[in-house]
Amino acid sequence: MIKKAIVLLCLLVLPWVSMEAAQPDFLYKILSSRNWRATEARKVVRLSPEDQEFIHFSTEKQLDRIVEKYWSDAAEFAILKVDTSKIEGELVYEANPGRENKYWHLYEGGIPFEAIAEAKVVYREPPSRGALDIVRIGDPVLRQRARSLSVEEILSPKIQKLIEDMIYTMRDAPGVGLAAPQVGQSLQLLVVEDVYCSYLTPEQLEKRERREVPLHVVINPTLTIEEAEVAEFFEGCISIPMIGIVPRAKAVRVDCLNEKGEPVTLHAKGWHARILQHEIDHLHGVLNIDRSIQETLTTDENAQKFWKDKSEEEVKSQMTKSE
């Protein structure tokens, strides 16, 4: 009689346990508006620093609680419905350290763009307007030498409005720099701002000599190499759906005008120097793929799929070796 009771209890309990731990067909991932725009533009899912050790997912039942707890102050964010049959890595159903509630975590993997079954953008405020269209590779304006601007032009309402719209467009993309030819204007004008350092590990920041760069406007620039030694890193461009390893000088000086038409001299090192070189190239009709090590060119998706955990030295070694 006791054995029959135990067997009956197991039959009642085990299905509930298996259902709780069974991998669902769909899980949900919330992205910031910036990360979602980058994901849309590059067809590669951009995640936050919190997802470095493992990727956090929610079930449909957990979603409202997660939104209320972590996204209640966000004016805009995106909710992705992810097909679990298409993700890569190991899904584990577990509680966070010191917590009781269990969630699905993805280890040693990622979310391919094609795994997104649905995407819903949530607005708590009316969406902002003013983003300019990004010109893509193949448009002749990207191969033209841009003309310089007079101080009178710089101070005109037209150019001041263009500067404002370019800043918004750079942030909306999101990117760390934007040159006027990338929005169809063959003018020697660019904007720079790097606020994405929190997305990298301390080791990555040190290796890239990267730190936050406040917003600045660069007009009619003259670039001088201050340090002949070069650094090689993967470099992307919001006008081009490919990236490659690009050698760039480690330190530069840029003499230019600012948005007020005032003379300015910038001394930049590391990643800031790379951004300036990249954007100033745009003013001369030169693209990052022209300067890249050609064998290392790859789509953003394949970079995430095959090379995200490898150093540039390893990538270069594997992609450039002869048969």
Average pLDDT of the residues in 203-219:
93
CA distance readout (Å), 257 to 67, 111, 189, 222, 267: 44, 43, 9, 10, 14
pLDDT band at 3 (very low <50, low <70, confident <90, very high): very low
Among 53, 226, 279, 314, the active-site one is 279
Ranking 34-43, 165-174, 266-275 by mean pLDDT, the lowest is 34-43
Quick check: bond before 174 cis, omega within 30?
yes
Average pLDDT of the residues in 117-140:
82
Mind listing the pLDDT tens digit for each residue in 65-111? 888 888 888 878 899 999 999 998 899 999 877 677 889 999 988 89
Closest CA to 32 of 73, 62, 83, 60: 73
Question: Is residue 6 scored above 70 in pLDDT?
Answer: no
279 catalytic residue (yes or no): yes
Question: Is residue 321 scored above 70 in pLDDT?
Answer: no
The whole-chain average pLDDT of the chain stands at 86
293 close to 230: Cβ distance less than 8 angstroms: no
What are the chain's domains? 2-123 (3.20.170.20), 140-320 (3.90.45.10)
- Please report the pLDDT score of residue 53 as a whole number: 83
